[in-house]
Every structure is written in structure tokens, then in C-alpha cells.
Amino acid sequence: MDNLPATARIEQQFGAHLWSVFFAVPTGRATQDAILSPAEHEDCFNYLADLSQQIPFSIKATAAPAYRRVLLQRQIQGDPFSTQGRLMGGRAPVPINDGQGFVFISHTGDICPSGFLPLPTGNVRSFSLTTTYQNHPLFRSLRDPEQLKGKCGVCEFRTICGGSRARAYASTGDPLAADPSCAYIPAAAEGI
């Protein structure tokens, strides 16, 4: 977090067109120690949203679907700089998340919802990638916001954010559980 301002200056100095800020997921070599707290995630999202209004390049938050929520909240709250196109940096107008608009094929051919959600649903040597993506129960559940659990399941932003399914799986073993890195508490989640 402390290096973000200096990194942004370097991006601007070299004429970057896109800054992809990657948020660690506790899988592979990344441990829980490398993960920002929910409050730190929220602070970082707001810093990036503020910064996006001051720089000539777009910011893409990778593995951070809640950034979309923060941007939409700012638009709803009347942020004068918050237009949908500018906020999303010209990116896809629909959310892309683990298994939703994204599929990962491992070096051995395993089909997974993402590289950070290592739940093989088949192998391209034996199964059709298209059929697996479209019809496998895991992919279908990941694309259905009504299947989300905990506060993600009742969040009014679940269709634009959906939470990190990879972080939910890494923390709970359930890819449909609430995203543990999200600080936002929906009104409908009181007591959950």
C-alpha cells in the first residue's frame, strides 16, 4: 500500500496506458500473511478510485471484484467524476470473476474457474472446454449470484461484484462462501 503513490508516478512517467493492480489471493505461494485486511482493501480501492480521476491512464484491479462495488457506490453517491466508462476504465461492462467470463486451463489441461481457484472440473484432453464452461455445476453456480452465501448472498452489489470466489475458497473451502476480504456489510447481512 505504501508503494502505490510511487508506483503510480512511475506508471505516469513511462506513459502507461493501463495499470493492473494485483490483489494477492492466498493460493499457491501466497499466504494469508500477504493478504490485505478488509479495511486495507477498502482503503486501497478508495485510493485507486481517487487516483483514477487524476491520472491519464486506466486502472484495472485484478482479483478484486469489490473495486467495482466501490466505483459503483461512488457513482450512486453522486461523485461528479464517476461515469461508468471512466470508472471501469473502458473495461467490460459486466463483471468478470472466477468462472464468470473467465476460465483457466492448467499446464496439464485441467479446466478450472481461474488459476486462483484450483478446482478442476475436467480436462481438455477428455472434455469439451465450451461444454464444461457452460454446463459444469461449479461453473453454473459461480455465475448464479443467488448461490452465494453469507453477506455476499444478500449483498445488493452481488451482481456487479460477486466477491472473490478464490479468496472465499482459500479461507473456507467453499467457493460460494462470503468473500473474507470485503469490508462492506450490506444492510440485509445484519446478524449473519
Q: Which residues contact 7 (CB under 8 A, 6 or more apart)?
A: 19
Domain range list for the chain: 4-98+143-189
Instruction: State yes or no: pLDDT of 94 exceeds 80.
Output: no
- CA 50, 157, 121 angle in degrees (round to 5)? 110
Predicted local confidence at residue 27, as pLDDT: 81
Q: How far apart are CA 44 and CA 50, in angstroms?
A: 10
The predicted-structure confidence for 98-115, as pLDDT tens digits, reads as follows 989 999 999 999 999 999
Q: What pTM was computed for the model? A: 0.87
* Angle of the 66-76 helix axis to the 38-52 helix axis, nearest 10: 60
Helix (H, G, I), strand (E, B) or coil at 96: coil
